[in-house]
Structure 1
Amino acid sequence: MLDGQVAAVSGAGSGIGRAIALRLAAEGADVVLAGRSAGPMEQVAEQIRTAGRRALVVAMDLKDPASVDAAAQAAVGEFGRVDVLVNNSGIGGPSAPLVEMPLEEWEDTLRVNVTGTMLACRAFLPGMIARGSGSVVVIGSVTGKRPLVNRTPYAASKMALVGLVRTLAWELGSSGVRVNLVSPGGVEGPRIAWVLEQQAASRGISVEQARAEFAGGAALQRLVDADDVAHAVAFLASDRAAGITGEDLNVSAGLVMY
């Protein structure tokens, strides 16, 4: 459980981020919701407050270092500390063969998904290090381990997060701060719907066929629900995972087992 702890979740207004924020609050945490779209995050914050926990919405643009630093300062100013950081924000990037990939779209994907994660860690970690405790959970993807046609910048960015997490776990181990990665498979929602549409178009098959093939490749024969990911994040954030750091936990319905 996370009773009395403070968790910061980026991209908490929808999808996986929303599910994570609500799950952490259900386990007793007060929650900082950080991202660019205040409206959806305010709705999530209201749900958290109704459930009896505190919530703060802060603006944060992962492409703007000053914005990330300001979000961390606002969180500490409101709650006094942050015990858990969940780096959930990211973008899907373009869908095109690499030889046709505009450089700016490649760089934008890595800037948000990789550099943005680094900036958030750099901004939120000093307090955890000073207290000698804390948990960082980064949301990766099984696409960091297996091919996804025409999505090289996304795949490269998610693979980069594996190296970031493992190395940061070593750097912070002596300080008592743990760092772990969660790699979801296809999560029900608008993003996987877009991916399947792109895959269907590139292969000349129907979206229904693409979805059936994708789900059929998983041992559980299904996609993943956002709540599946949220439960895994809550576990890694809590003392139940006190002996776990540097790990990459698949939540993929058995699509990936490595």
Structure 2
Amino acid sequence: MSLMERMRPRPGLRVLVTAGAGGIGSAIARGFLEAGAKVLVCDVDEAALDAFASAYPDASTVRADVSLDADVASLVDAATERLGGLDVLVNNAGIAGPTGAIDEISVEDIRRTLDVDLFGQFLVLRRAAPLLRASPAGAVINISSVAGRLGYALRTPYAASKWGIVGLTESLAKEMGPDGVRVNAILPGIVRGARIEGVIRERAEAAGVSYEEMEARYLANTSLRRMVEPEDVASMALFLCSPAGANVSGQAISVCGNVETI
């Protein structure tokens, strides 16, 4: 196998991508489809799922809320039935959560953020673990954030969940490594798309400045002074599931243009 061939995932991988109908998840799902994988995508947004299914008829889709164990059980059953097992789990589902001081945000918003962003990953992992152990090439990619390595004022529920994902990743890499399952986290930075636009808008309102000023502040804190594209994150996911990434596990890898502070 040539070095270039080692950089590509082997065709036929069975891949589950949570929240895969839009944004980063969609880019990752598309990348695996292009690599010849069998892909199952879940999402809570039925319209987005329908649009993804129309655009990529080779993919399987199912509606699921990863914060609900019953939904997750049905999702993993679908992976068994439609894919015949599971080689790769991309734990991508997450929400932005509230923006505000710790004593101003609601308990409901805190719980919802942690339920989706962190607890949801636990629920999917505990159901998918037996399938991944049975795979000859089991791999997990947990999507964290640059907020999982830096403090993030006014965004504490989100940051706490993303730091938790890094701890989950490093711990699970040790737990499942003897079974041949690799576990890594990707920490995206300021990824172009609707989610970061909403975050910047809320942060601008909280600071009493314009959207343009807040966006400029975000980019000024990034060494490369530019946003990350969803495809940049997808490329890292594909690498981690290729033969070239066979000995990469337990790592929290930033794809962020070197965000210095947030």
- How high is the TM-score relative to the length of structure 1? 0.94
Could you tell me how far apart the structure 2 residues matched to 1:2 and 1:110 are?
34
1:112/1:132 Cα in 2 relative to 1: closer, same or farther (>3 Å)?
same
Could you tell me how far apart the structure 1 residues matched to 2:252 and 2:132 are?
21
Q: Does 1:28 align with 2:36?
A: yes
Could you tell me how far apart the structure 1 residues matched to 2:192 and 2:257 are?
12
RMSD, aligned α-carbons: 1.4
Partner of 1:145: 149
Secondary structure of 1:186's partner? Answer: coil
Partner of 2:69: 65
Deviation of residue 240 (structure 1)?
A: 1.8
Deviation of residue 239 (structure 1)?
A: 2.2
Could you tell me how far apart the structure 1 residues matched to 2:16 and 2:116 are?
17
Could you tell me how far apart the structure 2 residues matched to 1:62 and 1:241 are?
27
Secondary structure of 1:98's partner? Answer: coil
Partner of 1:110: 114
1:182-201 alignment to 2 at 5 Å? 182-201=186-205
Q: Is the 8 A contact 2:100 2:206 kept in 1?
A: no
1:241 alignment partner AA = G
- Structure 1 gaps, min length 5: none
1:91-110 alignment to 2 at 5 Å? 91-110=95-114
Partner of 1:14: 22
Deviation of residue 184 (structure 1)?
A: 0.4
Partner of 2:140: 136
1:180 alignment partner AA = N
- Structure 2 gaps, min length 5: 1-8
Could you tell me how far apart the structure 1 residues matched to 2:47 and 2:60 are?
13
2:51 alignment partner AA = Q
Partner of 2:13: 5
Secondary structure of 1:78's partner? Answer: helix
Give CA deviations for 1:142-180 in whole Å, capped at 9, x if unaligned. 112223221100000000001000000000000000000
Partner of 1:89: 93
Aligned residues: 253
Secondary structure of 1:255's partner? Answer: coil
Q: Is the 8 A contact 1:133 1:176 kept in 2?
A: yes
Could you tell me how far apart the structure 1 residues matched to 2:248 and 2:51 are?
33
Give CA deviations for 1:50-83 in whole Å, capped at 9, x if unaligned. xxxx311112111210110111111111121111
Could you tell me how far apart the structure 2 residues matched to 1:159 and 1:91 are?
15
> What is the identity percentage for the equivalent residue pairs of Structure 1 and Structure 2?
36
